[in-house]
């Protein structure tokens, strides 16, 4: 996995790139099917709702390692099946949602490159978002391992 950080004129950005051992369709389903997303992303069972289309809403209640829960909501900004998701995430106290782009690129019959990119308002926000995204990619990679059937 590679990580890039940059400070842009409009904020602080990070990009994470990883190659997953799964075809692009399987990676797409993991991101866009509520039951699958809940399994690998650490969401409470039954809490994930997804209307995967531009303007469609999503929500999930995430579980923390210490047993806590926190709700997340947002909408899909851009959807190109098996290629690109731009996900808007509602942030308390902010007028505009935070957005994260997820890009998928089929490498061969069984591997997919995934690139996550997000621009944040501060270095602290970027570092926290990057840490969370790294944990998501770690969990997704484990979920998609060949011995897992999903």
Task: Sketch the domain layout of the chain as residue ranges.
Answer: 2-143
Beta strands in 27-97 (DSSP E): 49-50, 57-63, 69-80, 84-89
Instruction: Give strand pairing partners of 99.
Output: 88
Cα separation, 3 vs 15, in Å, equals 6
Q: Which residue has the tokens 């999503």?
A: 58
Q: What is the pLDDT along the chain (150 residues), one digit of tens a residue?
A: 444 444 454 568 999 999 999 999 999 999 999 999 999 999 998 999 999 999 999 999 998 888 889 899 999 999 999 999 999 999 888 888 999 999 999 998 899 999 999 988 888 989 999 998 999 999 999 999 876 445
pTM of the model: 0.87
pLDDT at 148: 45
Give the burial class of 144: count Cβ atoms within 10 A of its Cβ; 0-12 exposed, 13-18 middle, 19 or more buried.
Answer: buried
Instruction: Give strand pairing partners of 106.
Output: 112
Instruction: Give strand pairing partners of 105.
Output: 113
- CA-based Rg of the chain, rounded to a whole angstrom? 15
Extract long-range pairs of 5-9: CB within 8 Å, 24+ residues apart. Answer: 5/126, 5/130, 7/123, 8/119
Which residues are CB-neighbours of 75 under 8 A, at least 6 positions away?
55, 56, 57, 58, 88, 97
- CATH entry 3.40.50.920 includes domain 2-143: no
DSSP 49: E
């Amino acid at each position: 996995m590679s990580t890039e950080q940059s400070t842009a004129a409009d904020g602080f950005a990070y990009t994470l790139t990883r190659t997953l051992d799964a075809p692009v369709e399987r990676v797409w389903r993991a991101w866009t099917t509520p039951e699958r997303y809940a399994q690998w992303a650490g969401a409470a069972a039954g809490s994930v709702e997804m209307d995967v289309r531009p303007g469609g809403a999503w929500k999930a209640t995430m579980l923390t390692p210490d047993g806590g829960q926190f709700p997340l909501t947002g909408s899909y900004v851009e959807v190109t099946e098996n290629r690109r998701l731009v996900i808007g995430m509602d942030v308390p106290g902010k007028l505009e949602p935070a957005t994260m782009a997820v890009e998928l690129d089929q490498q061969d019959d069984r591997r997919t490159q995934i690139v996550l990119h997000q621009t944040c308002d501060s270095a602290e926000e970027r570092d926290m978002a990057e840490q969370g995204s790294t944990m998501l990619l770690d969990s997704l990679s484990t979920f998609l391992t060949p011995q897992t059937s999903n």
